[in-house]
Structure 1
Amino acid sequence: MDTPRSASPDTAAQARTETATPGQLPIHGLLSYRLSRVANAMSRSAALRYRREFDVSLGEWRTIALLGADAPLTLNRLARLAALDKAQMSRVVAKLSERGLVLREFGAGRTTQLTLTRKGAALYRGLITAANERDRAFLVCLTEQERDALDSALDKLATLARALERAEER
């Protein structure tokens, strides 16, 4: 519960009741909030494991995983796929390059193609194995019907979210 430390639980509950608009959910009930909380918890546990076992941050893991799955990629494309801005991705790639995990090859014009080095590819294999283990651990609590429903629901929500994002950009 996100209440001020000085407020008692009764006072906080009363404040929520008084400010709630009939027919509207408080933030705790909103789908986007709930999904974000679950995704953040999953990401935090992944970050802890990947840091401990592979000495990479979550951003580095995502970069390595994306390059391992679909290289070569430009910095712009990689940033879009990782949902990071270009400056953030540039810093992540610079660190990985310094560690000998990512190779930058200059292409036509100002484009740079990014790929994993042999060392990066070996790290990718360990990381993707760990990621698949985590994925199975999360999915085991769901029945096959629930997994199918979740896949379908996530696809629908992602499609709608992209459409709403495009509409907001106009």
Structure 2
Amino acid sequence: MLPIRELLSYRLHRVANALSRSAALRYRREFDVTLHEWRTIALLGADEPLTVNRLARLAGLDKAQMSRVTGKLTERGLIEREPGPGRTTQLSLTRSGRVLYRGLIRAANERNDAFLVCLTPLEQEVLDSALAKLATLAKVLERSEH
């Protein structure tokens, strides 16, 4: 039996938290956004318009959390809401939101490069493959738990 510190899920969680904490500090300092706000802006910048439900699923937040995040970003003039099909509301970045997105995604890419520099090209390929396999299996296991 492995102790918790040696379990794969625990180790991945710790690394992900460390990456998120350092990102949160940088994005707050440089762009005055929280990590949830950054993810929301980044997701919209990559694939807008999106509904609150879709954004929540992509960001790994519940709908109420995402509603609060998008509400704050709307108040700051970074997101705009428009009626969508049926009773949905589509969210998109405003002009200022797009400017912020470009700065945030540039910083995120810099951080990404800084982390990958400690891995050889082969290690990067192996990591990508391993993460893809783990994500696929995690989804299968999650569905089997329902």
**TM interval, short-chain normalised:** over 0.9
Alignment of 1:137 with 2:106, yes or no, is no
Give the distance between the partners of 2:85 and 2:103, measured in 1 at CA: 33
TM score, norm. by length of structure 2: 0.99
Alignment of 1:117 with 2:94, yes or no, is yes
Give the distance between the partners of 2:107 and 2:135, measured in 1 at CA: 25
Match of 1:85 in 2: 62
Provide Cα deviations, 1:88-110, integer angstroms capped at 9, x if missing partner: 00000000000000000012321
Q: Percent identity?
A: 77
Aligned residue pair count: 146
Q: Which has the larger radius of gyration?
A: 1
Match of 1:16 in 2: none
Match of 1:29 in 2: 6
Provide Cα deviations, 1:70-96, integer angstroms capped at 9, x if missing partner: 000011101000000000000000000
Greater mean deviation of Cα atoms: 82-91 or 104-113: 104-113
Provide Cα deviations, 1:129-157, integer angstroms capped at 9, x if missing partner: 00000000000000001000000000000
Q: State the AA in 2 paired with 1:140.
A: V
Match of 2:35 in 1: 58
Q: Which SS does the other structure have where 1:73 is aligned?
A: coil
Ranges in structure 1 where 5+ consecutive residues have no aligned partner: 1-23
Alignment of 1:148 with 2:125, yes or no, is yes
Q: State the AA in 2 paired with 1:96.
A: L
Structural RMSD (CA): 0.5
Q: State the AA in 2 paired with 1:106.
A: P
Give the distance between the partners of 1:28 and 1:75, measured in 2 at CA: 36
Q: Which SS does the other structure have where 1:115 is aligned?
A: strand
Q: Which SS does the other structure have where 2:92 is aligned?
A: strand
Which protein, 1 or 2, shows the higher relative CO under an 8 Å CA cutoff with sep ≥ 6? 2
